């Protein structure tokens, strides 16, 4: 009898269900006797002992289903060693439930914080295999994460839809794309959507450069412009501040997000009308695109093969078109950032896209 626990943690995204389906179907093919436990609401369920036994029927019809059938929650890694309000040791509770349920392995699907906690459990003696989930595509050790391409499609569609109204009214439109620390999603959606200006967290912008790019388009007879702005985009002025100084400044900031601040500055400097569009959580919702379904199925099947071989302590990554196991200790705590000197940035600049630098 093999007993496997499934756990999805952090923000949801497309293809969580598709990936779990890939793991489950491969395990059911390999074993005559396997039990899969769905740990409810992420690490919260592992801490407080909430789970349900899943059957093969639970994995039917979920390839195209968004969200996660076992729920999720955010349990910050920095708080994992801090007892809860009742004095419960969270790490000991997770280990205790892992042993009590007789699990052979925990399959954990999540992003950066999730992987740090997964590595902690590995260090504590639990058998763990992880899968890279995030629309931000910022997990170290894999070229792509599942959920990313689906989110690119949604963000790109938002930019596409803005083009006609921007052209009709001769306005500047800012489309704010998800991504606090990393700009992969904004970069890809911006290029795919034909944005004129792309602002990323990794490339602090100069408002003068942004205004110059807008003025250039006006001089060329172009009546509208579109900016794809990551929610974590930051000015050169703010990037030069210490964390403490930046936090203090943001507490006094009257704008709901960076896009609204940019919009007002552009209007003041150019006199152009600016409109803001924030697709928000739509970027994480809905069904996964076909590309994500393929990636998820492959990653899930590969994760099951690691379990079959009893090769624990790995994240299943995607590199150069191949599925590879990546040691979990190499992944935890690292972010895959956009390199300002990368070829994709150089090529985008060659297309005439301004990055505000």
Domain spans in the chain, listed from the N-terminal domain onward: 2-147+288-331, 150-284
Count CA atoms within 13 Å of residue 286 on its CB side: 19
The string of pLDDT tens digits covering residues 169-225 is 878 999 999 999 999 999 999 999 999 999 999 999 999 999 999 999 999 988 889
Say if residues 296 and 19 touch (Cβ distance below 8 Å): yes
Say if residues 6 and 280 touch (Cβ distance below 8 Å): no
The token pair at 248 is: 């203090």
| pLDDT grade for 29, boundaries at 50, 70 and 90 | very high
The whole-number pLDDT of residue 168 equals: 81
The whole-number pLDDT of residue 122 equals: 97
Q: Is 136 a catalytic residue?
A: yes
Given the residues 136, 138, 196, 292, select the one marked as catalytic. Answer: 136
Tokens 């599925």 appear where?
323
The whole-number pLDDT of residue 171 equals: 86
**pTM, rounded to two decimals:** 0.94
Say if residues 337 and 138 touch (Cβ distance below 8 Å): yes
**Can 2-147+288-331 and 150-284 be said to share one CATH topology?**
yes
In terms of Cβ atoms closer than 10 Å to its own Cβ (0-12, 13-18, 19+), residue 175 is: buried
The string of pLDDT tens digits covering residues 299-332 is 999 999 999 999 999 999 999 999 999 999 999 9
CATH number of the domain at 150-284, please? 3.40.50.460
The whole-number pLDDT of residue 255 equals: 87
Give 54-107 as a DSSP string: E-GGGGTT-TT--S-TT------GGGTTS--TT---HHHHHHHHHHHTT-SEEE
**Does CATH place domain 2-147+288-331 in 3.40.1620.10?**
no
The whole-number pLDDT of residue 251 equals: 81
The string of pLDDT tens digits covering residues 104-133 is 999 999 999 999 999 999 999 999 999 999
CA angle, corner 313, sides to 125 and 114, nearest 5?
A: 90
């Amino acid at each position: 009898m093999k007993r496997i626990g499934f756990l999805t943690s952090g923000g949801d995204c497309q293809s969580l269900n598709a990936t779990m389906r890939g793991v489950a179907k491969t395990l059911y093919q390999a074993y005559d006797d396997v039990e899969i436990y769905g740990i409810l609401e992420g690490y919260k369920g592992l801490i407080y002992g909430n789970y349900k036994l899943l059957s093969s029927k639970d994995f039917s019809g979920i390839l195209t289903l968004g969200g996660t059938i076992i729920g999720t929650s955010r349990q910050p890694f920095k708080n994992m060693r801090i007892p809860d309000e009742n004095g419960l040791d969270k790490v000991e509770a997770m280990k205790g439930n892992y042993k009590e349920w007789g699990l052979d392995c925990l399959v954990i699907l999540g992003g950066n914080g999730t992987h740090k906690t997964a590595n902690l459990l590995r260090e504590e003696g639990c058998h763990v295999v992880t899968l890279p989930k995030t629309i931000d595509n910022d997990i170290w050790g894999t070229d792509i994460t599942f959920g990313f391409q689906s989110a690119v499609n949604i963000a790109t569609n938002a930019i596409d839809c803005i083009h006609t109204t921007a052209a009709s009214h001769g306005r500047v439109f800012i489309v704010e794309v998800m991504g606090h620390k990393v700009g992969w999603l904004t970069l890809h959606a911006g290029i795919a959507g034909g944005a004129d200006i792309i602002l990323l967290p990794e490339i602090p912008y100069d408002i003068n450069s942004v205004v110059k790019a807008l003025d250039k388009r006006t001089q060329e007879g172009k009546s509208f412009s579109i900016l794809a702005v990551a929610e974590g985009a930051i000015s050169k002025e703010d990037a030069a501040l210490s964390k403490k100084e930046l936090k203090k400044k943001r507490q006094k900031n009257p704008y709901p997000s960076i896009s609204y601040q940019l919009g007002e500055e552009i209007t003041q400097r150019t006199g152009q009308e600016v409109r803001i569009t924030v697709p928000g959580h739509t970027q994480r919702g809905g069904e996964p695109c076909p590309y994500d379904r393929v990636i998820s199925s492959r990653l899930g099947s590969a994760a099951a093969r690691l379990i079959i071989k009893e090769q624990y302590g790995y994240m299943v990554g995607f590199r150069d078109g191949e599925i590879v196991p990546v040691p979990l200790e190499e992944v935890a705590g690292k972010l895959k950032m956009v390199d300002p000197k990368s070829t994709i940035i150089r090529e985008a600049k060659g297309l005439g896209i301004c990055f505000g630098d």
